[in-house]
Amino acid sequence: MKLVDIIKISYTNLLRQKVRTLLTIFSIVIGATLISLVYSIIPGFRNFFDLQFQILSSPKLIEIYASKERPAASIMDSFGSAPQEYKEGESSGLYDLMLTNFKEEDIKKIENIKGVVKYHDCPIPNVEYIGLEDSDKKFKSNMIFYYPSFMLSNIKLVSGRSLNDSDKGKVLIAYDFIKAFGYQNGEELIGKKIILHIKQNLNKDTAGLTIMPTLDETQEVVSKDFEFEIAGITEKTILSSIIFVSLVDAVDMVKFSRNTEEVLTDKDNQRFFGFVEIDDAKNAEYIMDEIKNMGFSGQTYEQSKNILGMIFDILTIIFSSFGILAMAVSSLGIVNTLIMAVYERTREIGVMKALGANRFTIIKLFTVEAGLIGTIAGLLGLIIGFGISELLNYIGHKTIFSSFETLDISNITFLILLAPIISIVVSILAGIYPALKASKLNPVDALKYE
Partner 1 sequence: MINIKNACKIYKMGNQNVVALNCVSLKIKDGEFVAIVGPSGSGKSTLLHMIGGLDTLDKGEIIVNGSKLKNVCDKDLAKYRNSMIGFIFQSFNLQAKLTALENVELPLVIRGINKKDRRILALKSLKEVELGDRINHKPSELSGGQQQRVCIARALVNSPEIILADEPTGNLDSISGENIINLLKQLNKKIKTTVIVVTHDDRIAKMANRIIRILDGKIIKDVQNGNHIIKKYTD
Task: Using CB under 8 A, list all residues that contact partner 1.
Answer: 1-2, 5, 9, 12, 16, 347-348, 350-361, 442-444, 447
**Cβ distance to partner 1 smaller for residue 10 or 297:** 10
User: CB of residue 316 vs partner 1: minimum separation in angstroms?
Assistant: 44
Please return the burial class of 53, using the count of CB atoms within 10 Å of its CB with bins 0-12, 13-18 and 19+: middle
Closest contact distance (angstroms) between CB of 356 and partner 1 is 2
Complex with partner 1: residue 19 or 355, whichever CB lies closer: 355
Element (H, E) at 76: helix 73-78
- How many Å apart are CA 132 and CA 319, to the nearest integer? 45
DSSP reduced 3-state for 121: strand
Using an 8 Å Cβ cutoff, are 291 and 119 in contact?
no
Q: Which is nearer to partner 1, 352 or 418 (CB)?
A: 352
**Residue 404 vs 449, nearer CB to partner 1:** 449
- DSSP code string of 344-388: HTHHHHHHHHHTT--HHHHHHHHHHHHHHHHHHHHHHHHHHHHHH
The smaller minimum CB distance to partner 1, of residues 242 and 446, is found at 446
CB closer to partner 1 out of 19 and 82: 19
Establish how many alpha carbons lie within 13 A of residue 204's alpha carbon, considering only the half-sphere containing its beta carbon.
17
Q: Pick the closer one to partner 1 by CB: 12 or 84.
A: 12
Return the half-sphere exposure (C-beta side, CA atoms, 13 A cut-off) of residue 39.
25
Q: What counts of helices (H) and strands (E) characterise the chain?
A: 14, 12
CB of 363 vs partner 1, minimal distance in Å:
11
Distances in Å between the alpha carbon of 302 and those of 76, 282, 286, 309? 18, 10, 13, 10
d(CA 298, CA 278): 14
CB 123 within 8 A of CB 250: yes
Listed in sequence order, the residues at least 6 apart from 394 whose beta carbon sits closer than 8 Å to its beta carbon are: none
Query: CB of 449: closest distance to partner 1 in angstroms?
Result: 11
Measured from the CB of residue 447, what is the shortest distance to partner 1 in angstroms? 7
- The minimum distance between CB 368 and partner 1, in angstroms, equals 14
| CA pair distance 1, 362, nearest whole angstrom | 10
Closest separation in Å from C-beta 439 to partner 1: 9
Q: How far is CA 80 from CA 83, 91, 260, 296, 356, in A?
A: 9, 20, 42, 25, 61
Q: Which is nearer to partner 1, 269 or 361 (CB)?
A: 361
Smallest gap from Cβ 377 to partner 1, in A, equals 23
Rounded least distance, CB 28 to partner 1, Å? 25
- Which lies closer to partner 1 via its Cβ, residue 294 or residue 354? 354
Q: Select 17 or 303, whichever has its Cβ closest to partner 1.
A: 17
Q: How far is the CB of 346 from partner 1 (least distance, A)?
A: 12
**Dist. CA 170–CA 148, nearest whole Å:** 14
For partner 1, the closer of residues 183 and 449 by Cβ is 449
Q: How far is the CB of 434 from partner 1 (least distance, A)?
A: 19
Alpha carbons 374 and 293: distance in angstroms, whole number: 55
Helix (H, G, I), strand (E, B) or coil at 286: helix
The kind and range of the H/E element at 78 are: helix 73-78
